[in-house]
Structure 1
Amino acid sequence: MNQIIRRFAFSLFFLGLATACTMAQTTLPKPVTVFSDPYKGIPVRIPAMTTTRDGGLLAMADYRHNFSDIGWENGGTYRLDILMRRSDDGGRTWGPIATVVQGRNDFGYGDPSVVADRDSAGLILMQAVSGNVPYIHASAQKPQHAMFFRSTDGGKTWDGGRDVAPSIYDLYKTDQPLSQQKGFFLTSGKITQSRLIKKGKYYRLYMAHPILHVGAFVIYSDDFGRSWQVLGGAGTVPGPDGDESKVEELPDGSVLLSCRKFSSLGRRFNVFVYKDKKQAVGSWQTAQDAKAMEGCTRCNGDVVVVPARRAADGRKTWLAIQSIPQSRSRDHLGFFYREVPRRGADLAATLAEGWQRGAMIHEGTAAYSTLSVFGDGSVGILFEANLDSDNTGYDILFSRLSIDQITGGAYTSRTSK
């Protein structure tokens, strides 16, 4: 009997070793360069991306004539432009570089975030932080502007933009008095559109933003960005010490907030649970730190939730995927993943546990990233890599990975053919 047990144990050991080796040897696709740094001598940074209803992929980035963040003057200019390229083959090849919006010596446009409406063939909304005031010096009296631009032809042309910064400051003036003396910053990368909640003509939009020295908040719009409200009310800070953050919708319509922390390493999560989805009535739970990411650098990453199938038993599930550098510095960019728990009393606390380290896609210097989910269940990532010698810009690369590749074979896509 003991001999049988020993043989069984050895079999399990070698099976586990083979599985581990298989996961380690998972072949990942070679990234495609979307924007090279520098471009015509000017640094590029800050990726933004969306997938259009017709399957097109739009990628955007800062074009930093001032060699710095929005609001800082350098060499006599505050100018930043926003560049865009389009792919019609899932990111394998890209069209020519176009300028979506051009800054001036006294005014810049940067840190874009973007969404393509799920119901309309050509309607796209892009937000740009703009002006000549840095985030750390902004206030209601001297704000960073929040310009929203619309395209109705899939990104070929754009309107002149509309500044909503005054109305956003107004949302907080009663419940967050400090907000009038501090800046807010609409996070770059993506604007999230609900799959489930449609009030009127459009599905609901979500954006996250920090208020300096207050924390991260989520705002929502039911009219495709013309007006905004604070999810859960301005009196509650869902992301304490939160900096740049991203929003994703959970399978039941609850809202997941993933925060870069302002003063320490790691990632902080919270969940808003609806009581009435149409009226946006509900409450935030208590923000929780993800233990598996405690040593990860402060950086703007992204999070998506995708339908998946557990490889071990074939069970259907939903998977949360977070992109972030997997180290204490801005390098070794990769993924963390975990199954999304079923609705429970404290989703935020549950979601803070159990994250697994997934594929690492770039060993060298790498920073900001944004994600987009394709119809076949694969995930596209647009990310900064290869910091230049002046520490002012990165190449912007794109890669498209299957759920199997991201998780090392632990999960597969539930929508793949």
Structure 2
Amino acid sequence: MKTRIGILFLLALCMQPVVAQDAASSLGIQVKQGYHTTGRGNTDAVILCIDLSKCDPKVQATGIVFQLKGISRKEINRIKIYQTATPEFYATTDRTLLSSQKPIGQCIETFFAPSIGYLWLTVDVKKHATLGAQIDASLFSITYSADGVSKTVDIPSVIGDPVGEAIIFQTQSIVYAPTSDDCRYYRIPAMTLNSKGDIVVACDRRYNSNDDLGNHKIDVSIRRSTNGGRSWSAQQLIAVGDTTNSDRYGYGDPSLVKTPSGRLLCTMAVGQEPFFGDMHHIALSKSDDGGLTWTFPRLIEMPEWVKSIFVASGKGLTTSRGVVMFATNVITELGSNVIENFVIRSTDDGENWEFTNGRVYRGGDESKLVELPDGNILCSIRLREARGFNLLTENGDVIRDPWRAKSLYSGNSCNADILLTPQGLIHTYLRHPSLRRDLSLAVSDDNGSNWRKIMSLQPEDAAYSTMTLLPNGDLGILYEDGSFSSGNGYAITFLTITKKQLAKMVRQSKKK
């Protein structure tokens, strides 16, 4: 069947009031915003998803009218319409291209072969698109055929213009898409750089259950990027749960670090019990070739006083003196729900491990470490509301009493990350008063006592995040992105902020 593509300027139609909400709702049409970030040079960035899956099977879409909002048209090369049978665009290659055209005008009408399932409005972003600019569109009407009769239904803005837009970053890519590679749920991002400057990331493969370790089999996946995060290697499983004796045995919550020799270490929680049960070991896998191959995970034995333990996911720390450190969650008394934060360290490339001198925090949760310019170690602790902090030496001696940073407020307790940059200490955090939403960046000029927000990365649903400085000085961020969801959990998304952008945002934050 031939596909007919037409482009019309419909300014008059764009001005018409929309009064057909009941008609659109009765057909079962739903419109969803695409992911809220994209990158320069990206192709097929999803802006809208038109869900026809709940429509009567006799209803087949044959055309749409939509509007590019704001300055969107200036930032893109082409607009495309795809059809899929499944609700996850980036997880399938079984896409039918229905329409492809240049962005001429703000209001566009396009026709295509009769289609059902899911329609996707995507754009190709210009290679030199404006950083921070927003791309957005709204659906005005759908033409469809039913029982041989062609009809057009107007789509009111409450349906056709969902909340959100795609913000343009220097680089943006979806590293793990929900339902891709025979896995429905991906969670818990980790990231580091190898000696060549390649990006190495890890995450949980949770398959068909989104529950934490101890409830079902979880494996750990690795991917690498040699071009700054624009594309990624195929998935590589470095830790596979052995279900011979228990279908709950697995590995999860990866954390990555590069040692002074260039060796990569990946720590993982391991076992068949949840953390508040008896998670008594840490698993460790090593790579001496930049992440190409990994050793079978070995168990790091814990002292008797440790009843349950796991390393906080994301990344570890290698100090300027070559000491490798990870922050851990520890339970010292079985049956207790009080988490105590301790630090483990290695001075021989991860061969042997010891606890530092004392407890960093009592009543905390997943923590991150950063070395300050004076050589002391700042520990940032996940807590509801004001985030917790403590300062310690490389040996783990606590220097001052722990404190809460009220200026780094997050209503939902969530794992985050901290990083020292030339612009100051940068922290990811969730700004929403109660939900896991609004992933943002904050900066501190006083070693973590006070913080200022510098930008909102992802205004809608988001969760765990981790950061690294790329070889060119740009900031790389890997995070759980829930801005587009079909009930399959988070996409794990990578994006970059240029060092020039970051410096400008930090300067501007001082003026507010």
Alignment-derived partner of residue 154 in structure 1: 290
| Match status 1:215 vs 2:335 | no
Deviation, structure 1 residue 128: 1.1
Tell me which residue corresponds to 1:248.
370
Give 3-state SS (helix, strand or coil) of 2:195's partner. coil
Give the drift of 1:392: 6.5
Query: Aligned with 1:184: secondary structure?
Result: strand
> Is it true that 1:55 corresponds to 2:197 in the alignment?
yes
Is the 2:178–2:488 Cα contact (8 Å) retained in structure 1?
A: no
Is it true that 1:32 corresponds to 2:159 in the alignment?
no
Q: How many Å apart are 1:381 and its aligned residue?
A: 0.6
Q: TM-score, length-normalised on structure 2? A: 0.61
Asked whether the 8 Å contact 2:239–2:297 carries over to 1, the reply is: no
Q: Distance in 2 between matches of 1:187 and 1:295?
A: 18
- Displacement of 1:228 after TM fit? 2.1
Cα distance, 1:144 vs structure 2: 4.1
Structure 2 counterpart of 1:258: 380
Residue 190 in 1 paired to residue 315 in 2?
A: yes
CA 64–387 in structure 1, closer or farther in 2 if over 3 Å, else same:
farther
* Equivalent residues, number: 334
Aligned to 2:268: 128
Please list every run of 5 or more consecutive structure 1 residues that lacks an aligned counterpart in the other structure: 1-22, 174-178, 198-202, 309-318, 342-350, 413-417
Asked if residue 334 in structure 1 is aligned to residue 470 in structure 2, the reply is no
Task: Deviation per CA, 1:286-340: give whole Å up to 9, x if none.
Answer: 11111112344210000001123xxxxxxxxxx1001111212111111111114
Identity of aligned residues (%): 28
Q: Using the alignment, how far apart are the partners of 2:483 and 2:363 within structure 1?
A: 27
- Partner secondary structure for residue 293 of structure 1: strand
Q: How does 1:79-118 map to 2 (within 5 A)?
A: 79-105=217-243, 106=246, 107-118=249-260
Instruction: Give the AA of the match of 2:470.
Output: F
For the 8 Å contact 2:171–2:229, the answer to whether it is kept is no
User: Normalising to structure 1: TM-score of the pair?
Assistant: 0.74
Q: How does 1:161-176 map to 2 (within 5 A)?
A: 161-164=297-300, 166-167=301-302, 169-170=303-304, 173=305
Alignment of 1:352 onto 2:490: no
The question of whether the paired residues in 1 share the 8 Å contact of 2:436 and 2:462 is answered with yes
Q: In the alignment, is the contact (CA less than 8 A) between 2:187 and 2:205 conserved in 1?
A: yes
| Contact persistence 2:438–2:456 (CA under 8 A) | yes
Q: Answer whether contact 1:290 1:352 (CA < 8 A) is retained.
A: yes
Query: Residue 405 of structure 1: CA displacement?
Result: 2.8
Q: Give the whole-Å Cα distance in 2 for the aligned partners of 1:45 and 1:333.
A: 16
Structure 2 gaps, min length 5: 1-130, 134-166, 332-337
| Residue number among 362, 370, 374 corresponding to 2:458 in the alignment | 362
1:378: how far off? 1.6
Corresponding residue for residue 422 of structure 2:
307
Equivalent residues of 2:429, 2:439 under 8 A apart: yes
CA distance, structure 2, for counterparts of residue 374 and residue 321 of structure 1 = 14
**4+ residue segments displaced more than 4 Å:** 23-27, 387-392
Give runs of aligned pairs for residues 315-326 of structure 1, distance below 5 A: 319-326=424-431
Q: Counterparts in 2 of 1:263-302, with a 5 A limit?
A: 264-272=384-392, 274=393, 280=395, 282-302=397-417
Q: In structure 2, what residue type is equivalent to 1:111?
A: D
Instruction: Give, as a single letter, the amino acid of the residue that structure 1 aligns with 2:285.
Output: F
Give the aligned CA root-mean-square deviation in angstroms: 2.6
The structure where helix makes up a greater share of residues is: 1
Q: Give the direction of change, closer, same or farther, for the CA distance of 1:31–1:281 in structure 2 (3 Å limit).
A: closer
Q: Deviations over 1:221-258 (max 9, x none)?
A: 11122222222x23xx3222210111111112100100
Larger Rg: 2
Counterparts of 1:24 and 1:97, CA distance in 2: 31
Hey, what's the Cα distance between the residues in 2 that align with 1:364 and 1:270? 30
Matched position secondary structure for 2:422 = strand
Q: Which amino acid in structure 2 is aligned with residue 128 of structure 1? A: M
* Distance across 2 between alignment mates of 1:215 and 1:380: 30
The answer to whether the 8 Å contact 1:70/1:108 transfers is no
Question: Deviation per CA, 1:342-400, whole angstroms, max 9, x where unpaired?
Answer: xxxxxxxxx322x0002111112100001111223221110001178686631000011
